[in-house]
């Protein structure tokens, strides 16, 4: 039944059995809804996830990360939750955002060779995250395969969560 193709030919002047036609349409709708659509990976392997607030869209993003980036993203998320227990989460612009109160202190984005963490008030962190930005107060931490410094990341996350967050 799952791979069955259904069709109905209606010729001019024919009467249609309304109940049978409705049943056919309902079956088609059910079949279409049941199809699981895979997550589209954008350039660099960044998952295309619909924007949304809360844990669910962030989990969907992390689950869709390919290869080693999945392990890095999942570990980063766990470290953030451990450092800031009441962290607020969302997916915006195909990236998970982490915040406290009204603003955001960090976002994550997957690229071909690294996972980038953006600290929106990173210039106020000590020591500074290594990556500079065109925006003076923003700093980046690019995590390559097997290169996550958990202690440094935890320190930065705790500091960043205490600063006023970025509001888009």
Residue 131 has pLDDT above 50, yes or no: yes
User: Which pLDDT belongs to residue 18?
Assistant: 84
Is residue 54 helix, strand or coil?
A: coil
pLDDT digits (tens, 9 = 90+) for 27-66: 878 777 765 667 888 888 899 999 999 999 999 999 999 9
Residue 6 has pLDDT above 90, yes or no: no
User: Which pLDDT belongs to residue 7?
Assistant: 67
- Quickly name the fold that domain 43-162 has: 3.90.1150
Q: Token pair for residue 127?
A: 């020591």
pLDDT digits (tens, 9 = 90+) for 78-109: 999 999 999 999 999 999 999 998 899 999 99
Phi, psi dihedral angles at 5 (to 5 degrees):
-100, 130
Which residue has tokens 């915040």? 99
Say whether pTM exceeds 0.75. Answer: yes
What's the whole-number average pLDDT of the chain?
A: 91
For the chain, the domains span 43-162
Residue 2 has pLDDT above 60, yes or no: no
Spatial separation of the C-alpha atoms in residues 7 and 62, rounded to whole Å: 40
């Amino acid at each position: 039944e799952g791979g069955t193709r259904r069709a109905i030919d209606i010729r001019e002047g024919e009467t249609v059995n309304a109940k049978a036609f409705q049943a056919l349409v309902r079956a088609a709708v059910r079949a279409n809804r049941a199809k699981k659509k895979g997550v589209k990976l954008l350039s660099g392997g960044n998952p295309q996830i619909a924007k949304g607030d809360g844990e669910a869209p962030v989990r969907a993003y992390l689950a869709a990360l390919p290869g080693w980036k999945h392990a890095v993203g999942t570990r980063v998320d766990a470290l953030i939750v451990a450092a800031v227990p009441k962290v607020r989460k969302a997916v915006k612009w195909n990236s998970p955002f982490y915040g406290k109160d009204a603003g955001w202190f960090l976002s994550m984005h997957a690229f071909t060779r690294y996972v980038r963490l953006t600290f929106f008030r990173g210039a106020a962190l000590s020591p500074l995250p290594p990556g500079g930005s065109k925006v003076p107060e923003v700093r980046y931490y690019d995590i390559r395969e097997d290169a996550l410094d958990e202690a440094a990341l935890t320190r930065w996350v705790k500091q960043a969560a205490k600063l006023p967050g970025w509001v888009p």
